[in-house]
A and B are shown apart, each in its own frame.
Chain A
Amino acid sequence: AAGVIQSPRHLIKEKRETATLKCYPIPRHDTVYWYQQGPGQDPQFLISFYEKMQSDKGSIPDRFSAQQFSDYHSELNMSSLELGDSALYFCASSFSGTLNTGELFFGEGSRLTVL
């Protein structure tokens, strides 16, 4: 069965550079979530999209932006990178229809290292 696809899996950037992470949800899933997990930390909610509109916002820095496209894939753009942005970034998707159980399906994550 198709899963949530994230790319790239690993990314190394310098301070003050820009990075873009991509997420391809499970087919027919209309909702995408982004989470950030720092070293030794639990995942923290960043932002979510439903039907290409932002549906909720968490602890996402102003330097970060995200969007969901017409094919439901999502991109997380991070600018002016800081050392503290080094983390594992997870994308999750879900289906909001009548059979919605609230189950989120997570990708393998994109590991960002800022040097």
Chain B
Amino acid sequence: KQEVTQIPAALSVPEGENLVLNCSFTDSAIYNLQWFRQDPGKGLTSLLLIQSSQREQTSGRLNASLDKSSGRSTLYIAASQPGDSATYLCAAMDSSYKLIFGSGTRLLVRP
């Protein structure tokens, strides 16, 4: 059974810092890995999707990497801004196209 873990559970950084959020999964037989952002009480906003055959994806200040062999993905946020404050969820898609979510990292970027 696929299990997804995210470290750290919470992170507080000053504005402008570069930061890395970590995600690990137990079953490397994934279809893809997706990173989402969730603001309090709100829906899920898709940030990046990495196919199982890819190593990384980039969108603006965000870069996500995937290492299937070690069961890890990282989300790199460059030059963090207060507007980046949210919960970041990673989710691994299994072969039946079901997403298994991690518990998220709550990020606070202090002005």
Interface residues, chain A, CB within 8 Å of chain B? 31, 33, 35, 41-45, 48, 55-56, 58, 88, 90, 92, 94, 96, 101-109, 111
- List, in ascending order, chain A residues with CB within 8 A of B103's CB: 41-42
Let me know if A42 and B102 touch, CB within 8 A: yes
Q: Contacting A42 at CB < 8 Å: which of B43, B89, B93?
A: B89
- Judge whether B32 and A102 touch: CB under 8 Å: yes
- Give Cα distance in the complex from A56 to B93, angstroms: 13
> Measured between alpha carbons, how far is A88 from B42 in the docked complex, in Å?
9
Chain B contributes a number of interface residues (CB within 8 A of A) equal to 23
Chain A binding surface SS class: strand
Q: How near does chain A come to B64, taking the closest CB pair, in angstroms?
A: 13
Per the bound structure, the CA–CA distance linking A109 and B97 in Å amounts to 20
**A101: which B residues are within 8 A, CB to CB?**
32, 49, 51
Given A42-B102, A102-B31, the answer on whether A48 and B97 have CB atoms closer than 8 Å is yes
Q: List B51-110 residues whose CB lies under 8 Å from chain A.
A: 51, 89, 91, 93, 96-104
B111 at the interface (CB under 8 A from A): no
In the complex, which residues of chain B have a beta carbon less than 8 angstroms from the beta carbon of A55? 96-97
